[in-house]
Chain A
Amino acid sequence: MSQQLTGPDLAGEGPDPRTTTASSDGSTSGSTQAFEEVFGPTRDNEPELVQLLTPEGERQHHPLFDQDFSADMLRGFYRDMVLVRRLDTEATALQRHGELGLWAQLLGQEAAQIGAGRALRAQDHVFPTYREHGVAWCKGVDPLRLLAIFRGVDQGAWDPEAHHFGLYTIVIGAQTLHAVGYGMGMQRDGVVGTGDPDRDAAVIAHFGDGASSQGDVNEAFIFAASYNAPVVFFCQNNQWAISEPIERQSRIPLYQRANGFGFPGVRVDGNDVLATYAVTQAALQRAREGQGPTFVEAYTYRMGAHTTTDDPTRYRLNDDVERWKLRDPIKRLEVYLRRNGLVDDAWLAEVGEEANELGRTLREGCKSMPDPKPDAMFAHVYAEETEELRAQREGFAAYHASFEGGAA
Chain B
Amino acid sequence: MSEQLLERPAERVVERVTLAKALNAGLRRAMEADDKVLVMGEDVGKLGGVFRITDGLQKDFGEDRVIDSPLAESGIVGTAVGLALRGYRPVVEIQFDGFVYPAYDQIVCQVAKMRYRSGGNLTMPMVIRIPYGGGIGAVEHHSESPEAQFAHTPGLKVVTCSNPVDGYWMIQQAIASDDPVIFLEPKRQYHADKVDLDTSATPDPLFASRVVRSGSDATLVTYGPQVKVALAAAEAAAAEGRSLEVIDLRTLSPLDLGPVYDSVRRTGRAVVTHEAHVNLGMGAEIAARISEECFYSLEAPVLRVGGYDTPYPASRIEEEFLPDLDRVLDAVDRSFDH
Contacts and interface: CB of A to CB of B under 8 A. Distances in A.
> Is this pair of chains taken from one and the same complex?
yes
Interface stretch (B18-26, B115-123, B135-143): B115-123
Interface stretch (B105-113, B224-232, B237-245): B105-113
A382 B106 contact: no
Chain B: interface residue count, which band? Answer: 35 or more
A388 B115 CA distance: 18
B315 interface: no
B1 A384 contact: yes
A395 to B, nearest CB: 13
A220 B88 contact: no
A223 B155 contact: no
Interface residues of A, number: 45
Nearest to A224: B79
B75 interface: yes
B157 interface: yes
B311 interface: no
A167 B253 CA distance: 26
Interface in B49-101: 64, 69-70, 72, 74-75, 77-88, 90
B120 A380 contact: yes
B79 A186 contact: no
Given A181-B80, A185-B82, A220-B75, A171 B115 contact: no
A381 B253 CA distance: 13
Given A223-B69, A223-B70, A383-B179, A167 B117 contact: yes
Contact of A184 (B79, B115, B117): B79
A384 B125 CA distance: 11
Nearest to A155: B117
Given A185-B83, A219-B75, A223-B79, A381 B254 contact: no
Interface in A10-47: none
Contacts of A155: 116-119
B88 A188 contact: yes
A189 B177 CA distance: 22
Nearest to A178: B82
B254 A388 contact: yes
B255 interface: yes
Given A159-B121, A174-B109, A185 B86 contact: yes
Interface string A379-393: 111111011110000
Interface string A157-184: 1111100001101010010111111111
A382 B88 contact: no
Interface in B189-246: 207
B254 A157 contact: no
Contacts of A186: 86
B178 interface: yes
A245 interface: no
A216 interface: yes
Contacts of B79: 177-178, 180-181, 184, 220, 223
Interface of A: 127, 154-161, 166-167, 169, 171, 174, 176-189, 215-216, 219-220, 222-223, 226, 379-384, 386-389
21 contacts: A160-B118, A167-B118, A177-B75, A177-B77, A177-B81, A178-B79, A179-B82, A181-B80, A181-B90, A188-B86, A216-B78, A219-B72, A219-B75, A379-B119, A380-B119, A383-B115, A383-B123, A383-B125, A386-B157, A388-B255, A389-B154
Interface of B: 1, 38, 64, 69-70, 72, 74-75, 77-88, 90, 102, 105-106, 109-110, 114-123, 125, 154-155, 157, 177-179, 207, 253-256
